[in-house]
Structure 1
């Protein structure tokens, strides 16, 4: 049946559990009506309005909305007669020549059925296929986790647009990752200059999400990942290493050094303040305290305390206090599970009420850690990733492999749900639209895991439904283009931030180099050089070492350029036929591909300059001209990138990204003199 659906040119994502496709067509009336029963619980008739908007966009026709038994509609939205016989979110959809009926067990069920109908209308217009669908989700919780703190703060309009898209694909939870980008009273030193979200933004978004069946769950860093706060004059003394607070800002340092000194009781006061202020803005009864990647715990100011009771005991005691604080206010605590899995004894001591968010991002992830949490008896939600961070182009293959595996393990070990994560490390250079394929894969796998046989089939479906691509080829082209990323954004950041700001080497950044490649791709000679502690390398030596480490990838840059150019041409031709509906996506694809072409050239240039690869030019004059043209092309590209940024995001840290590119172009011009 799935193959037939694609041949007919339409698809449904997530795929329904059962569907009977009958011969014939139901033609929507020219002047139609949607009857939405009040028992649905949709007081403002948002679901009916969604259908009307799609009917108008697909047919140009204007429909009416009514309720009650005296105002029949061709489309009826109602509650099932025996709702308690089915799990929450279940629905039936009947498309007949005489009308269309969506019946759900509850509001969420009706909402889910409406989204299926909307997808059909978007693809089939007024001529709908005759269907009977009985559908239910595999996971009760199907969430999305969006980073709004590490460089990019979305506009409220974009957040609402994203909530609409999550609704269309049947997600029912959204969390925003916040470190310093919220306007907490009395903490302006932390959020100044970050274009922070304000209480009114949360109230507005919370209402908007609730009306669309999405629970907006508060999430804020309360333990680790407090880099910006712990660099302030007011709060630096609460960090494990306050003496580093005045060191130059670093994208990589921000990911590594950010942990509270919890041996100081003022730390707990700060954590509780963040929790108490933030939770009042949400209707949700859940709260995510994060508490992940506390790398510095017990290594700085709290070292003596750690020697007394152990780092694991310190950690579990602190998060338990935070969880109890939430429970006393009637809230259900959530937290990331990485530290508990590093110290399994923590699992035995966590409060029963806490939900562990078990993030595992390896595309070849095994079931080990999901099984470990299941055996402990703790409630867990499995958390894969859309694989967009640190890069201009999305790694769709990695997203597919990671998400499908985690969905399978979540089902096997009876996880409470799935939370698909979307991170923005190193300045959030990745355009949010690049996460759409991974988000939709997550929607499929959290609803009906294992139903789609392979990645190719899935990408074809997404191309047709989301991007209006009749050929179904768009995402396959984009996925292949990502394989041509030879010198990536995180490689550039590493190269730049090896400089400690004083002409020396940032040894912390130097230590991150091995993590840039999978274990089976790491050149042994460079690894040995990195591990050689007999002599500290100079900055020039460290950068050359990085380029040697990446040599195999960098050297493919010239070949990869042809693939990127071809991809840009093919994607442009496909998106042109889809019309203005996906113009924003078309622009995002073009900017990302052109940016990657330039990064590949940068890698080749830097490696050539230090003799890691053969020289690219035959004369000093041509070298000067080519380097100058590359610098200018990067600056022109950054203008186009900034223009796209402003369509989705507040200013936030755009200037940091611009400064990064300008630092590179200044270096290129200086080298060419």
Structure 2
């Protein structure tokens, strides 16, 4: 294999076998792409993708044709029955570039599609002069999926979803799921989805068709058990929750992630869940369906407590999930659900129907293979699920994403997992701009294709990560310096006081000036104090403890902000050179926002006597009122960037959080 270090172009995912020959191939200024009708690409989308890229980088207008009477310099076709046996792997392809022309051959549509994406990347980087090469390539995982949160604050526009599907196609993903809790316009549930800019049936039908044309399976995913926070706060549905008496508590980002479970001891719960399933599945062409069923924290603790005591929590959970799976199976569908509860209670694994796929999520950057081995030994079907690590933050945690995705991909392959589903969550209002997830998404593309991918035989993990970051910079961002993603990683490492910590600090106030114990119980440094029911916490005590626990981190904020500003200086000319203003704006707003969050943390630390009052950040004013104004101005710019990718949805909750922070700063300035 040719080392990336000896060439000025890259392919992602790196092919399993690539031989680079001598010399180059000059694309004709006028020619055509011939796409065989046997491929089954009714709209000749693959040929049109190539023609569009050729025009974009060269200005040449190529033609598209099919049939043996219309030869083209680029030809796409299905292999004959005499092809090598290994070429029969679904999604495998052969790409040949030489002076006689360019040919992509595969056994199926997906294989041709994958070969086309490799060629598109080469054209985008090399223009009219392509290297002579031969690629023999096949994916390690047959299912290479992406899971996009479209419910916890941010609902993408249909236009942006199509752009995202285009990008997933370029990196050879073949499945996409959109996570839905309350952000779909189900009939009869307007009280649940009102004000959330919900997706509609027309959106799904159109997007399903769009994905199918790209070779991407759009799989429905709806919360049917846990994560019903919004629905369980409505007047019409609150009685179906474990704790209906809490339905009128003030909205909380933190409580939203904890208290949201259906009371499945109530027969009406099953009717509610199946109504969601039955209406939603009719909009999709796939037979797969993800019922979610994760993080049912309150199961057996509220309304269902008596039934849980009678049969056991594990049985209560397994019975309900089993009924939902059977309901789907009877309609010819293949159920999926998240595996966290089943893995915590392994006896559940023994009860799973044969056609159920467990989505085995693990997000720790240093995750082990223990849970994946457990499911494999139980004989259950599983798809492994790492994460892009963007939630609760303005800047993506790139190192954590790389470590998590690379490990989980290898563990899943070794344990015979059927696929990998890379997750992209938006906890705490989905403050993370979806464009910040691109490096993590590409990590997933690489390792779902080749979990042992190791450029130039390099066994050093840091070097392997750095090499992949450089390739992403070139392929995705057109960055000839190959430094863009490395600088983004450096910037993200300077997040000393994050969005999550700001939300925790603010939500410790229950709205009356007292400590919100529900929130305090989620903050590790406060849980010991609350372990004894007799130990109450005042709001001041809780915030003091929280900030003191961050003292070491707070001390490095001035230095972190200087490094972050240096990253902004170094990345600016790169952005100017590559000419992607949308990405440049998103990155700048994220970096500026993190600078401000760090300054807010520094100011709050001073208010709680965590640092010397004279130990100010020498790069920024110590005036809390000025900082409050800076926050408010930033929030307006952030809102404009939000609109580039997303519906209004719950942007107002992020704005309200920023305004609360500004008000708190003005209060402490007095």
- Answer yes or no: same fold by TM over 0.5: yes
Measure the CA separation in 2 of the matches of 1:184 and 1:660: 29
Contact 2:232 2:239 in 1 (8 A): yes
Give the one of 345, 353, 360 matched to 1:343: 345
Q: CA deviation at 1:14?
A: 0.3
Name the structure 2 match of 1:221: 223
Q: Superposition pairs for residues 358-507 of structure 1, below 5 Å?
A: 358-452=360-454, 453=458, 454-507=464-517
Contact 1:394 1:434 in 2 (8 A): yes
Measure the CA separation in 1 of the matches of 2:598 and 2:13: 36
Give the one of 610, 613, 618 matched to 1:612: 610
Contact 1:6 1:461 in 2 (8 A): no
2:513 matched to 1:513?
no
Q: Superposition pairs for residues 165-180 of structure 1, below 5 Å?
A: 165-180=167-182
Give the one of 586, 599, 602 matched to 1:601: 599
Give the one of 257, 266, 269 matched to 1:267: 269
Give the match's secondary structure for 1:614: coil
Question: Any gaps of 5 or more consecutive residues in structure 2?
Answer: 459-463
Give the match's secondary structure for 1:138: coil
Measure the CA separation in 1 of the matches of 2:140 and 2:266: 44
2:558 matched to 1:558?
yes
Measure the CA separation in 1 of the matches of 2:25 and 2:78: 22
> CA 1:203/1:265 → structure 2, altered by over 3 Å: closer, same or farther?
same
Q: CA deviation at 1:473?
A: 1.2
Measure the CA separation in 2 of the matches of 1:299 and 1:429: 31
Measure the CA separation in 1 of the matches of 2:270 and 2:527: 41
Measure the CA separation in 1 of the matches of 2:6 and 2:626: 47
> CA 1:624/1:535 → structure 2, altered by over 3 Å: closer, same or farther?
farther
Give the match's secondary structure for 1:20: strand
Name the structure 2 match of 1:238: 240
Cα deviation 1:599-620 (Å, max 9, x = unaligned): 00000100101101111479xx
Measure the CA separation in 1 of the matches of 2:70 and 2:414: 46
Q: CA deviation at 1:84?
A: 8.5
Name the structure 2 match of 1:21: 20
Q: CA deviation at 1:53?
A: 0.9
Measure the CA separation in 2 of the matches of 1:84 and 1:176: 37
Name the structure 1 match of 2:541: 541
Name the structure 2 match of 1:519: none
Name the structure 2 match of 1:56: 55
Cα deviation 1:203-253 (Å, max 9, x = unaligned): 011000000000000000000000000000000000000000000000000
Measure the CA separation in 2 of the matches of 1:377 and 1:671: 58
Give the one of 648, 659, 662 matched to 2:659: 662
Measure the CA separation in 2 of the matches of 1:546 and 1:2: 51
TM-score of the pair, normalised by structure 2: 0.96
Name the structure 1 match of 2:648: 651
Give the match's secondary structure for 1:293: coil
Measure the CA separation in 2 of the matches of 1:599 and 1:613: 17
Measure the CA separation in 2 of the matches of 1:84 and 1:238: 57
Contact 1:608 1:616 in 2 (8 A): no
Measure the CA separation in 1 of the matches of 2:621 and 2:553: 24
Give the match's secondary structure for 1:71: coil
Give the match's secondary structure for 2:178: strand
Contact 1:84 1:105 in 2 (8 A): no
Contact 1:624 1:672 in 2 (8 A): no
Q: Superposition pairs for residues 27-42 of structure 1, below 5 Å?
A: 27-42=26-41
> CA 1:84/1:315 → structure 2, altered by over 3 Å: closer, same or farther?
farther
Name the structure 2 match of 1:518: none
Cα deviation 1:268-292 (Å, max 9, x = unaligned): 0000000000000000010000000
> CA 1:594/1:624 → structure 2, altered by over 3 Å: closer, same or farther?
closer
Give the one of 135, 142, 166 matched to 1:164: 166
Give the match's secondary structure for 1:669: helix
Name the structure 1 match of 2:198: 196
> CA 1:401/1:2 → structure 2, altered by over 3 Å: closer, same or farther?
farther
Q: CA deviation at 1:529?
A: 4.0
**Alignment: residue pair count:** 656
Cα deviation 1:23-52 (Å, max 9, x = unaligned): 111111111100000000000011111111
Residues 449-458 or 205-214, more deviating: 449-458
Name the structure 2 match of 1:87: 89
Q: CA deviation at 1:132?
A: 0.8
Name the structure 1 match of 2:295: 293
Name the structure 2 match of 1:591: 589
Name the structure 2 match of 1:10: 9
Q: CA deviation at 1:532?
A: 5.3
Give the match's secondary structure for 1:77: strand
Name the structure 1 match of 2:357: 355
Question: Any gaps of 5 or more consecutive residues in structure 1?
Answer: 515-521
Name the structure 2 match of 1:626: 623
Measure the CA separation in 1 of the matches of 2:169 and 2:235: 42
2:318 matched to 1:316?
yes
Contact 2:530 2:536 in 1 (8 A): no
Measure the CA separation in 2 of the matches of 1:277 and 1:193: 21
Q: CA deviation at 1:535?
A: 2.4
Measure the CA separation in 1 of the matches of 2:522 and 2:239: 27
Measure the CA separation in 1 of the matches of 2:586 and 2:61: 32
